[in-house]
Amino acid sequence: MLPSQIMSSFNGVYPSVLVTGSSEGIANVTNLSRVWHVDAEHVAVADQLFHKTGANLAENPHALIKTVTPHDLQVWELGVKYVRSEQEGPLFDKLREDLNAIHWMAAVANPVPLRSAILFQVLSVRQCVEESRPLTPPSETYGDLLKVLGQQLQLNRSSYWLPMQGSLEGDLQLLASRGVPGAGTNERAFEPMRRLAALVWENKRVVRLRNIRSQIKYIHTIRPEAEQVSSFPLPNSFLGFPIIAFGTVIGIVCCEETGVTAQAFDRLDDRFLMHLADELGETLAPLPPAADDDRELLFSQVVERMKMKWDKMTDPFHTVLSARERQVSAYVAKGHTNAEIADILFVSKRTVTTHLERIFQKLQVTSRAALTRYVMEKGLLAEDEDAGR
Upper half-sphere CA count for residue 370 (Cβ side, 13 Å)? 9
Position 383 scores a pLDDT of 52
Average pLDDT over residues 342-350: 93
Average pLDDT over residues 198-217: 82
Position 218 scores a pLDDT of 54
Average pLDDT over residues 83-95: 94
3-state secondary structure of 199: helix
Position 386 scores a pLDDT of 45
Position 167 scores a pLDDT of 44
Question: Is residue 195 predicted with pLDDT exceeding 80?
Answer: yes
Question: Is residue 269 predicted with pLDDT exceeding 60?
Answer: yes
Question: Is residue 242 predicted with pLDDT exceeding 90?
Answer: yes
Position 72 scores a pLDDT of 67
The dotted CATH code for 132-312 is 3.30.450.40
Higher pLDDT pick, 267 / 170:
267
Rounded CA-CA distance 207/256 in Å is: 12
Q: Tell me the pLDDT band of 117, cut-offs 50, 70 and 90.
A: very high
Contact 332, 372 (CB under 8 A): yes
Question: Is residue 133 predicted with pLDDT exceeding 60?
Answer: no
Max mean pLDDT range (16-20, 219-223, 318-322): 16-20
Contact 253, 162 (CB under 8 A): no
Q: Tell me the pLDDT band of 329, cut-offs 50, 70 and 90.
A: very high
Position 225 scores a pLDDT of 55
Rounded CA-CA distance 389/383 in Å is: 10
Contact 30, 18 (CB under 8 A): yes
Element (H, E) at 240: strand 238-245
Instruction: Give the residue extent of every domain in the chain.
Output: 4-127, 132-312, 316-388
Rounded CA-CA distance 133/304 in Å is: 27
Question: Is residue 389 predicted with pLDDT exceeding 50?
Answer: no
Calculate the CA dihedral of residues 255, 258, 261, 262 and round it to 10 degrees: 90
Average pLDDT over residues 56-65: 94
Cα 169 to Cα 165, 297, 331, 384, distances in angstroms: 10, 33, 55, 46
3-state secondary structure of 342: helix
Angle of helix 349-363 versus helix 338-345 axis, rounded to 10: 110
Rounded CA-CA distance 235/164 in Å is: 27
3-state secondary structure of 61: coil
Q: Tell me the pLDDT band of 374, cut-offs 50, 70 and 90.
A: confident
Higher pLDDT pick, 38 / 389:
38
Task: Tell me the chain's radius of gyration from C-alpha atoms.
Answer: 28
Cα 266 to Cα 231, 257, 289, distances in angstroms: 26, 11, 34
4-127 placed in CATH 1.10.10.10 = no
Average pLDDT over residues 224-231: 53
Q: Extract the runs of DSSP E, i.e. beta strands, from 33-168.
A: 36-39, 42-47, 62-69, 74-86, 116-127, 158-163
**pLDDT tens readout for residues 173-187:** 899 999 988 887 777
Q: Tell me the pLDDT band of 166, cut-offs 50, 70 and 90.
A: very low
Average pLDDT over residues 352-365: 91
pTM above 0.75, yes or no: no
DSSP 169-181: TT-EEEEEEES-T
Position 280 scores a pLDDT of 92
Looking at the domain 316-388, which fold is it?
Arc Repressor Mutant, subunit A (1.10.10)
What value, to the nearest 5°, has the Cα angle with vertex 382 and ends 376 and 383?
A: 105
